[in-house]
Amino acid sequence: MSHLSELSYVHPSPTSPWGTYLSQVDRVVPYLGKLARWTETLKRPKRALIVDVPIEMDNGTIAHYEGYRVQHNLSRGPGKGGVRFHPEVTLEEVMALSAWMTVKCAAVNLPYGGAKGGIRVDPKKLSRNELEKVTRRYTSEIGLIIGPHSDIPAPDVNTNGQIMAWMMDTYSMNVGATATGVVTGKPIHLGGSLGRVKATGRGVFVTGREAARRMGLKLEGARVAVQGFGNVGSVAAELFAEAGAKVVAVQDHTGTLVNENGFDMKALIAFSQKEGGIAGFKDGEKVDNDAFWGVKCDILIPAALEGQITAARARQLTAKLVLEGANGPTVPEADDILAQRGVLVVPDVICNAGGVTVSYFEWVQDFSSFFWTEDEINQRLDRIMVGAFDHIWAKGEEHKIPLRTATYAVACERILIAREERGLYP
């Protein structure tokens, strides 16, 4: 790649989020046929906004936080993607997350492009009042480019329904009318959708169930290890346990627990929600964090942050099936090692697409002001995820390529056909 075609404002490494994404795009080019001439489109975000978020703290001082909103590609529809509040968020990370959203929406054939947002802040260090101020100021600053028909934020790491309510209210106040469709993942009373909170974890379970069936892995009695026990990891773990699997290892930011007989998921989830983490849960043995990667299991669910499965950890894993609940948890070198070892990886861009799928349902319901039951939502989610997974599996078989490359082949073809059909304006 010539130096001139690289972006001047980020400096990715091979294992950093944007570097990982670029290598994933390079791998799909041979399967794009004549659409390959548009590949460079995938390597450049359409729009990246960096904003200053100043607020007055409770003690009277003024604090400034750095905020971002990146719209990677809008060829197939308005931008869609979460907002994360984390002290380590960077422009490069948000770019990669927005690009993965582009691929994800296309993989499940939703009429969206990809976007993502973030603020460099540790929300645990803010009072509720300060958190509200940060959220509202950030929303006002990115208000230039978001909207129900242009870009629709949603919850991500350290954000939730309350933050979405503040974002929706701020945007509505600025435009002078209630605009419920500007964000998804809202509380039910404000136009939120039933089933949205558990949707991402449910999607991980559905794709995992389909993959396990195809590789002849019985869920009954299967050993599952889960990294990250937030919204995604805990819901996926609970659904696998309900299907008869045993969750034998769990890791979150507070530590790692192992239970050879399988955890009582309801008890562990209740404890974790009450205490803010799994540390101190009595019914499990505390082990060193690094030991997590060597725990004997059939299914591994990385559902924390990106870059967790390194080359070294990929060699340690005992799982036959990896379900990427998080975005970008596997670095490219680790992907190759897992492929050589015959480990099936269901990639993030299909595995965790349940969240954006139910976000889409929420957005549609907001426009029609007509709401579906939770059963209807779960059935529709199941149908879309299974259909998308079938299509991707067939593409993988056809070209004898890993599921990640197959997902990119399906998604990037849809994105670039849209780009080509729309043409370049002006």
Instruction: Give the Cα separation of 273 and 226 in Å (integer).
Output: 16
Which of left, alpha, beta for 349 (phi over 0: left; psi -120 to 50: alpha)?
Answer: alpha
CA distance 40 to 46: 11
Please, are residues 407 and 25 in contact by the beta-carbon 8 Å criterion?
no
Which residues are catalytically annotated?
A: 116
Contact criterion met (CB below 8 Å) for 319 and 346: no
User: Residue 391: helix, strand or coil by DSSP?
Assistant: helix
**Terminal C-alpha separation, the chain:** 27
Q: Any alpha helices (H) in 112-264, and if so which ranges?
A: 128-142, 161-175, 199-215, 231-242
User: Measured on CA atoms in the order 187, 379, 326, 46, is the torsion positive or negative?
Assistant: negative
Provide CB contacts within 8 A for 303, sequence distance 6+: 201, 204, 226, 227, 228, 229, 230, 232, 233, 236, 325, 326, 329, 352
Q: In 40-156, where does DSSP find H-type helix?
A: 91-107, 128-142
- The helix (run of H) or strand (run of E) holding residue 262 is none
Residues 6+ apart with CB under 8 A from 27: 404, 405, 408
DSSP lists the bridge partners of residue 212 as: none
